[in-house]
Homo-oligomer: A and B are copies of this chain.
Amino acid sequence: MNNMMTKIAGGLEQAFAARGFTEPSVEDLRDAAGVSMRTLYKYAQSRDAMIRLALEHRHQRYLAQVFGHPTDESVQSLSETLDRIAGWMQAEASHGCLFHAAVASSPTDPALRKLLEKHKEEVSQLASTKARTDMSTSDLLVIIEGLTQAWPLSKDAALASAKRLACLAEAASN
């Protein structure tokens, strides 16, 4: 049941990440989830709900990969956080941020907007507290967004720039 739920969510996430939110038909999504139509619609009542399910799942995976297990309270430098974000991009998001992609594909859907805001809010918040920095979360957000969007365009150069900027901003905030 919950097992089934995460299996479905994982498959959906992968399908949307690989092919975007428009292209895959519900039949494609069914195949990616590895279940029958009936079951798919039992856990997500519409195609839109499938998108939301995939995004919730990705949010959890992103936080775990970038910041470690929620109970882990160790310090993590900004530089390391940025490294991990670049690692995530490399492995999982070569097409860019999935939340922005979702909002872009239906900009009028308020539910997606909410999910995007929650995701970004939580990410910059976590980055800030884990690094024990005084830098404003707004500065952090700009750097993280900059890295996330620039990475597909310039890879390592983007990572280096993000780290340099973070370093400068941190030095200036003391």
Contacts and interface: CB of A to CB of B under 8 A. Distances in A.
Q: How many copies does the complex hold?
A: 2
A40 to B, nearest CB: 21
Contact of A22 (B22, B120, B150, B165): B22
Given A141-B150, A141-B154, A165 B161 contact: no
Given A20-B108, A107-B95, A169-B164, A145 B139 contact: no
Interface residues of A, number: 44
Interface of A: 19-23, 95-97, 100-101, 103-108, 116-117, 120, 136, 138-139, 141-150, 153-154, 157-158, 160-162, 164-165, 168-169, 172
13 contacts: A20-B104, A20-B105, A20-B106, A20-B107, A120-B153, A141-B161, A142-B161, A145-B146, A146-B149, A149-B149, A165-B165, A165-B168, A168-B169
